[in-house]
Homo-oligomer: A and B are copies of this chain.
């Protein structure tokens, strides 16, 4: 894993290339990418309360954003995957309201605020792409909210793993029924508002029903259609559809 040069199969290019209609568009996309960094597993990229100076594009690896509670617990807000922006909305508030941590070794590139704004002004396509991405993250957060507020532990886990699978597929990872998932049970629990003990019980129940397994960091859907129907999963909010004109 190195902070090497631009690659065509980069998840960011896959996602945003769909918006580009001209050479100028592609140049605008390439232009917002600043310095590339490698971020080691377990290192914090952004701290809660720290000034928000730059955002990032995540090229390789998994990250998560979370909040700590007064009582010591934590709530993971979102998992960030290759191709995702990190901390874009945060650029417009004075300080970050959450921590962001690398779950695996990661490659990111910086996105400078002034640079991003001027890029969006010059390229309507870039503005559209960035705003669509913000809307997508918003839709993901909304689903997460529904998950925590109104679904059982089993439903939450199923929905979350299905959504992760769809997002990974979008980033060019995994197959339609299986993917690698570096999240520990404790992390899944912190995401879904459960204890790791209960999460373990739910996983066993899913295994025994032969619906899905999570073993050695690999998620496998044994019965995807039942799972999708169970929680009403419709992944259309995750991918951009071009406007008809």
Mark A residues whose CB is within 8 Å of B: 67, 69-70, 73-75, 77, 89-94, 97-98, 117, 121, 124, 127-128, 131-132, 134-136, 138-139, 141-142, 144-146, 148-151, 192-193, 231-232, 237, 241, 243
Contact = CB atoms under 8 A, between A and B. Distances in A.
Given A75-B150, A77-B145, A141-B142, 13 more contacts: A69-B150, A69-B151, A70-B231, A89-B138, A90-B135, A91-B131, A92-B128, A93-B132, A93-B136, A97-B237, A134-B134, A144-B145, A145-B148
**How many copies altogether?**
2
A115 to B, nearest CB: 14
Contact of A97 (B89, B90, B128, B139): B139
B89 A131 contact: yes
Nearest to A231: B70
A135 B74 CA distance: 21
Contacts of A97: 139, 142, 237
Main secondary structure of the interface of A (DSSP, over half): helix
Nearest to A148: B148
A92 B133 CA distance: 8
8 contacts: A69-B232, A70-B232, A75-B146, A89-B134, A90-B135, A134-B134, A149-B192, A150-B193
